[in-house]
Amino acid sequence: MESCDKPLVKLCPPAEGKILLHACCAPCSSAILECMVLSGIKPTVFFSNSNITPREEYELRKAEIIRYCESLGVEWVDDDYDHDDWLALVARGRENAPERGPRCLECFRYRLSRAAAYAAEHGFSVLTTTLASSRWKSLEQVNEAGAAACARVSSGAGANGNPVVWWDMNWRKGGLQPRRSELIRELGFYNQTFCGCEFSKQ
């Protein structure tokens, strides 16, 4: 693989301390993680994606992100998988909503709330996500969900946990999008054709 020797983008996290990177898959994480590592940032990857179905698809995507994390020396955490819970809390009543609609927003809220809670409980100061790298997703929805999740877990910080700051980095800019395509090809990542849930297949 032809590797970059310096980061494509100058990264300025919004706070000092440990960074938790919610990751949806290896392809979306590829250029982001490379840029972080080359910048001297070693985040912990949080794989929380109960939207993905079937379970075999979830395990395949998880195996790919683990493979990439281990190649970079990056720690990772696998959140509990519960697609039934996701269906009940996110999809019910929104089954026919279009992509970028209310189901997607609720899905981002579900996953990023879990990530923010983990961050607060384990001493992370900053949360960001690879969800914002996909041009098929609404950057506004992702940032709305992430900022709200961090504000919620930080409101009781002090007695109950660590305040967490949302990093609303636009991971599509600065050459990261074409670098993502290069890494997918060079590393031979499984590159899925749908977001993850059964409704996105439509």
pLDDT for residue 3 is more than 70: no
Say if 53 falls within a structural domain.
Answer: yes
**Residue 31 to residue 176: CA distance in whole angstroms:** 6
Domain membership of residue 111 as a residue range: 18-187
Residue 100 backbone class (left: φ over 0; alpha: ψ -120 to 50; beta: rest) = left
Mean model confidence pLDDT for the chain: 92
Q: For position 190, what pLDDT does the model report? A: 86
How is 3-68 classified by DSSP, letter by letter?
Answer: --SS-SS----SSSSEEEEE-S-HHHHHHHHHHHHHTT--PEEEE--TT--SHHHHHHHHHHHHHH
pLDDT value of position 53: 95
Structure confidence by residue, pLDDT tens digits, 63-86: 999 999 999 999 999 999 999 999
Report, as an integer, the average pLDDT of 87-99. Answer: 95
The answer to whether position 6 is within a domain reads: no
Instruction: Give the pLDDT confidence score for residue 1 in this predicted structure.
Output: 41
**Confidence at 4, pLDDT banded by 50, 70, 90:** low
Indicate whether 176 pLDDT > 60. Answer: yes
Residue 2 has pLDDT above 50, yes or no: no
- pTM of the complete model: 0.93
Q: How confident is the model at residue 159 (pLDDT cuts 50, 70, 90)?
A: very low
Residue 138 within any structural domain of the chain = yes
What's the average model confidence in pLDDT over 153-164? 73
Q: What is the mean pLDDT of residues 100-126?
A: 97
Within-domain flag for 193: no
Q: What is the Cα Rg of the chain in Å?
A: 16
pLDDT digits (tens, 9 = 90+) for 20-73: 999 999 999 999 999 999 999 999 999 999 999 999 999 999 999 999 999 999
Query: Is 1 part of any domain?
Result: no
- Is there a contact between 140 and 32 (Cβ–Cβ < 8 Å)? no
CATH number, domain of 40, equals 3.40.50.620
Residue 24 in domain: yes
Evaluate if residue 92 carries a pLDDT over 90.
yes
Mean pLDDT of all residues in 159-178? 87
pLDDT over 50 at 157, yes or no? yes
169 in a domain, yes or no?
Answer: yes
For the chain, the domain total comes to 1
